[in-house]
Amino acid sequence: MSSALATLREEKFVAIMRGIPTEKIGEVAKASVAGGIKFVEITYDHKKEDPKAFFAEQIEAVKAAVGDTAYVGAGTVLTVDQVNWAYEHGAQYIVSPNTNDDVIRRTKELGLVSVPGAMSPSEIVHAYDLGADIVKLYIIEDPQYVKFLMGPLGHIPYQATCNVSIDTIPTWLAAGAKCFGTRAFITNDLIEKEDYAEITRRAAAHVQAIKENA
């Protein structure tokens, strides 16, 4: 097992850096890490004219800000080319909203942690059989869904991404979720005000909620 995967299973939390201006993303990531977060996900923005160039700018800014104090990964990865690009820029794990056979295979060939998205039992099992380390439940909002999955498919580790908050974390964990990915604690108003201390406080509260209920 890679150190990234072992740590993710222990820490259980990924801060998603989506929609954050490049000039502020480093400080947002640093504030999140100051709150105890060990995993930062930089997402591809496919609405950009050049998503790869934009991703490169963002991941370099985050790496410069947090150094080796956090594992940095790539999110919204849809193609093998994007896996390769992320790997070249130092990504340690790959997250997708969907299950793409070639993306999962290439991720594992490169020795990275694979977290593809899936929704139905068939998609979930298919992703896991291809080598997914954790299956991201997208777009699942109800913890009861995990509880139902845990009967026949309890051997598969699940990441909750939708409807994740301090209030819902205990319910997700009780249902069987193994980790979380969210941007919920990084609100646009805090970014605009550059209130990084509040981002740190909220990050710490989420981390503590996991520790208290895991």
Listed in sequence order, the residues at least 6 apart from 131 whose beta carbon sits closer than 8 Å to its beta carbon are 104, 105, 107, 108, 114
pLDDT confidence band for 1 (50 / 70 / 90) = confident
Band (pLDDT 50/70/90 cuts) for residue 44 is very high
* CATH class in words for 3-213: alpha beta
Of the candidates 122, 131, 128, 129, which has an alpha carbon nearest to the alpha carbon of residue 158?
A: 128
Q: What angle do CA 67, 181, 157 make, to 5 degrees?
A: 110
| Average model confidence (pLDDT) across the chain | 98
Entry pTM: 0.97
For the chain, the maximum distance between any two Cα atoms, rounded to a whole number of angstroms, is: 47
DSSP 96-131: -SS--HHHHHHHHHTT-EEE-EE-SHHHHHHHHHHT
In the sheet with 13-17, reading across from the earlier edge strand, the strands are 113-115, 93-95, 71-75, 39-43, 13-17, 179-182, 158-160, 135-137, 117-118
Write down the pLDDT at residue 23: 98
Q: What is the pLDDT of residue 39?
A: 98
For the record, the structure tokens of 143 come out as 């913890």
Q: According to the model, what pLDDT value does residue 14 have?
A: 98
Does the N-terminal peptide bond of residue 139 adopt cis geometry, omega within 30 degrees of 0?
A: yes
Pair 72, 91: CB distance under 8 Å: yes
Q: In the chain, what are the domain boundaries?
A: 3-213
Segment 116-143 shows an average pLDDT of 98
CB 42 within 8 A of CB 74: yes
Tens of pLDDT, residues 132-185? 999 999 999 999 999 999 999 999 999 999 999 999 999 999 999 999 999 999
